Structure 1
Amino acid sequence: METQNPIPCLLIFFPMFFIVYLIAYFIVFRTWSPKIRPEASSCLISLAHGTPAVFLSTYAILADPATGFASQNTRFQNTVLDYSVAYFLTDLLHYIIFFPSDVLFIGHHLATLFVFLTCRYVASRGAFAILSLLILAEVTSLCQNVWTLANARRRDLEFAAKVYDLLSPPFYVLYSIVRGLVGPYFVYRMGAFYVGGEADGLIPRWVWVSWIVVVMSAISVSILWISNLWVELFRARTGNLEKKTR
């Protein structure tokens, strides 16, 4: 199925995300504090990637009725993978330049790029699994980025504080369901397929094993992150309740 040279796609998508980042940093958030401008700019390119990636991935999967965990990637599926590779490369540069000590996020981006690149360039199969995981990862992107921007300004903007307080509970619920329930279930099905030998001779074992390890690690970190946020929210709401009852 693969007849398209992937390089031109990356040459289009990478500059696109880089330009969006520059526009965010120098125009959209130019009046924001230098401490939070980089993070806000990262949120904007994440917005430019996340929700579109969900729709593109969904279409790429549905457009191929024969797709499966070991199916050969279609041309459009590879294009969507290129799209995400370009985003993560741009955001990786952001972290290396502005937050070089943030080893967790840099490691996350490198691991994610490894998964996309091996699916795209090494195996040329398994896009159904990787794009499905991309959907699960990015379906909360819009909500999460708005929440992140509101969190960055909530101490100096009353509106941002209201958005943050209003958005936190539903965002936490949605994120918990996707990352704590749906994600692990999908990885279980994915792992059962590969361990069962269905991909033998199609996808190198070291490739799919590395995919499972990376995804399980990412889900574990996500569950830990959202658990900490739930604890913080509970403490904050309990503290406010105690103040009102005094």
Structure 2
Amino acid sequence: MQFTTPQLPLFFTMFFTIYIIAHFIIFRNWSPKLRPEAASCLISLAHGTPATILATIAIFSDPTQQFASLNTQFQNSVLEYSIAYFLMDLCHYLTFYPKDVLFISHHLATLFVFVTCRYLALHGAYPVLVLLALAEVTSLFQNLWTLAGARKGDSEVAHQVFDLMSVPFYVVYSFVRGFIAPFFVYKMIGFYSSGVADNVVPKWLWVSWICVVVLAISVSVLWVSGNWVEWYRVRMVRIEKEKKIR
């Protein structure tokens, strides 16, 4: 199972087309303020779960499964698939939310890892794709949760879906980003710091990768922690209101 490369222009065109269709057709009845975010969620849905599946296949189809293995053709194609998505979503943020420095920085840093792994090092796709799969495994829940949250103010159904999804989503997200991902990064640091891969993945490069990943995980943990705090605050307010009614 292999793709022909380079397919980056093809993948980018696909995500661009999905974005345009989402913005002008699927979510045309949404308010202009919400349409860009909804369109971004749709291309994220088109990327997240497929990327997780493709990355998993690419990982297990490689018999070596080493942190510094030569990238396979299929692994490179999966990297290009994700590069195309992050480029498209970066264009979205630069167009509609140019002051959102956090997300723009996140996308640029992620692109740095994917691009250097695909086009510069040509090695190390195994750990990068493992981290991609871990990052995107919650994508489906997160995007549905985000869409419901965007409409919860004017739709009771969306409000109920948002409330119903919040706790399960936070639990899974916290476990993946707070435990599994840090453990894998710990193993990654142990391997690269031994110096055995310096001839194929230069020290400056793997250190850069680690810094980006650690920062991304830290921001994710802070983000979900803030959501837990907000969920607890809202729950306490509801409990107090119910007590007053009784």
Which residue in the other structure is 2:97 paired with? 99
Q: Provide the alpha-carbon RMSD of the alignment.
A: 1.2
Alpha-carbon deviation of 1:197?
Answer: 1.4
Percent identity over the alignment is 62
Q: 1:26 to 1:220 in 2, by over 3 A?
A: same
- Counterparts of 1:165 and 1:185 in 2: how far apart (Å)? 30
Q: 1:72 to 1:35 in 2, by over 3 A?
A: same
Is the CA contact 2:28–2:35 (under 8 Å) kept in the aligned structure 1?
yes
Which residue in the other structure is 1:88 paired with? 86
Which residue in the other structure is 1:209 paired with? 207
**In the alignment, structure 1 residue 218 sits paired with structure 2 residue 216:** yes
- Counterparts of 1:177 and 1:206 in 2: how far apart (Å)? 30
- The amino acid that maps onto 1:217 is L
Alpha-carbon deviation of 1:5?
Answer: 7.4
Describe the SS at the equivalent of 1:197: coil
**In the alignment, structure 1 residue 71 sits paired with structure 2 residue 61:** no
Is the CA contact 2:18–2:43 (under 8 Å) kept in the aligned structure 1?
yes
- Counterparts of 2:4 and 2:134 in 1: how far apart (Å)? 28
Alpha-carbon deviation of 1:46?
Answer: 0.1
- The amino acid that maps onto 2:27 is F
Alpha-carbon deviation of 1:158?
Answer: 0.5
1:97-246 superposed matches below 5 A: 97-246=95-244
- Counterparts of 2:4 and 2:142 in 1: how far apart (Å)? 34
Which residue in the other structure is 1:11 paired with? 9
- Counterparts of 1:38 and 1:208 in 2: how far apart (Å)? 35
Alpha-carbon deviation of 1:13?
Answer: 0.3
- The amino acid that maps onto 1:46 is S
Structure 2 residues not aligned, in runs of 5+: none
- The amino acid that maps onto 2:22 is A
TM-score, length basis structure 1: 0.97
Equivalent residues, number = 243
Structure 1 residues not aligned, in runs of 5+: none
Is the CA contact 2:58–2:74 (under 8 Å) kept in the aligned structure 1?
yes
- The amino acid that maps onto 2:86 is F
Which residue in the other structure is 1:50 paired with? 48
Describe the SS at the equivalent of 1:220: helix
TM-score, length basis structure 2: 0.97
Is the CA contact 2:106–2:216 (under 8 Å) kept in the aligned structure 1?
yes
Alpha-carbon deviation of 1:67?
Answer: 2.0
Residues 129-148 of structure 1 deviation map (CA, whole Å, 9 limit, x = unaligned): 00000000000000000000
Describe the SS at the equivalent of 2:65: coil
Is the CA contact 2:3–2:74 (under 8 Å) kept in the aligned structure 1?
no
